[in-house]
A and B are shown apart, each in its own frame.
Chain A
Amino acid sequence: DVKVTQSSRYLVKRTGEKVFLECVQDMDHENMFWYRQDPGLGLRLIYFSYDVKMKEKGDIPEGYSVSREKKERFSLILESASTNQTSMYLCASGQGGVYEQYFGPGTRLTVT
Chain B
Amino acid sequence: AQSVTQLGSHVSVSEGALVLLRCNYSSSVPPYLFWYVQYPNQGLQLLLKYTSAATLVKGINGFEAEFKKSETSFHLTKPSAHMSDAAEYFCAVTLNAGKSTFGDGTTLTVKP
Contacts and interface: CB of A to CB of B under 8 A. Distances in A.
A19 interface: no
A4 B42 CA distance: 12
A109 to B, nearest CB: 14
Contacts of A99: 98
A50 B98 CA distance: 9
Given A42-B90, A103-B44, A105-B42, A98 B105 contact: no
Given A42-B103, A43-B102, A50 B97 contact: yes
B90 A43 contact: yes
Contacts, number: 60
A94 B43 contact: no
B70 interface: no
- List of 9 A-B pairs having minimum Cβ-Cβ separation, nearest first: A103-B43, A42-B104, A98-B32, A43-B102, A31-B98, A103-B44, A100-B46, A105-B43, A94-B98
22 contacts: A4-B43, A31-B97, A40-B9, A42-B102, A43-B44, A50-B98, A90-B43, A95-B98, A96-B97, A97-B98, A98-B32, A98-B94, A98-B96, A100-B34, A101-B44, A101-B46, A101-B100, A102-B46, A103-B45, A105-B41, A105-B42, A106-B42
Interface of A: 4, 30-31, 33, 35, 40-43, 45, 48, 50, 90, 92, 94-106
